[in-house]
Amino acid sequence: MTPNRDTKYQDIYIGLVRLHVLHHAAQEPVFGHGMIQELGRHGYHLGPGTMYPLLHSLERRGWLKSQIVLVDGRRRKCYAATPHGKAALLQARDYVRELFDEIFEERAKPGSDRDLNMRRLQKPSLMPASKTAKKGRP
């Protein structure tokens, strides 16, 4: 895998690639070369030596199921998401959404949980004034 991005982060990108493949396979059957092209449109430059082992590993996990189909007289191995794959994708979507919100939330909206937590952290003490006074603080 030689992403347009720095290859030292390859371990991070490959997880995103897996999610991408699973997403497309849940919509319609996919094949290796087609996924290489699709991912290329998103800045990932993968070769067959990365894509096909990735598809095989998703199939071994039970998230994809392959089927041989004839396309223009040629045999093509297509992959579709299984019910387990779709369930994994649904769970991953929740994690991705939560992470996205956390990464791209520039500052907390007033009144949000994050805003309240940030204000609590900025206060010198989280204890009510009555308990603070008992400990000899003004």
At 71-85, the pLDDT tens digits run 889 999 999 999 999
Whole domain around residue 32: which residue ranges? 7-104
Per DSSP (E only), the strands in 61-109 are 64-71, 74-81
Q: Whose CA is closest to 3, among 39, 49, 44? A: 44
Q: How confident is the model at residue 124 (pLDDT cuts 50, 70, 90)?
A: very low
CATH classification of the domain holding 46: 1.10.10.10
For residue 22, tell me if it sits in a domain: yes
For residue 109, tell me if it sits in a domain: no
For residue 112, tell me if it sits in a domain: no
Q: How many domains would you assign to the chain?
A: 1
For residue 18, tell me if it sits in a domain: yes
